[in-house]
Structure 1
Amino acid sequence: MTSPPTLLNSCAWAATAREAAFRIDKPPARVRTSRVFALDPGAGTVVADLVRLPWHDTRFIPSVDLGRLDDELRDADFAMMIATADDGAAAASAIGHACAHRGITTAGIVLGLGYQTTEAVAALRPHARVLLVTEDRQDIVEILSEVGA
Structure 2
Amino acid sequence: MFGLKKSPLHKFAKHNSVDPGYPHSSSTNPFDSHDDLDGKKALKPSRRTSSEPMLTTQPNPNRGIENQSVQELENYAVYKAEENTKMVNNCLKIAEDIREDATKTLVTLHQQGQQITRTHMNAADIDHDLSRVWLFLVHQPSLSA
Q: TM-score range by the shorter chain?
A: under 0.3
Higher-Rg member (1/2): 2
Structure with greater proportional helix content? 2
TM-score (norm 1): 0.18
TM-score (norm 2): 0.18
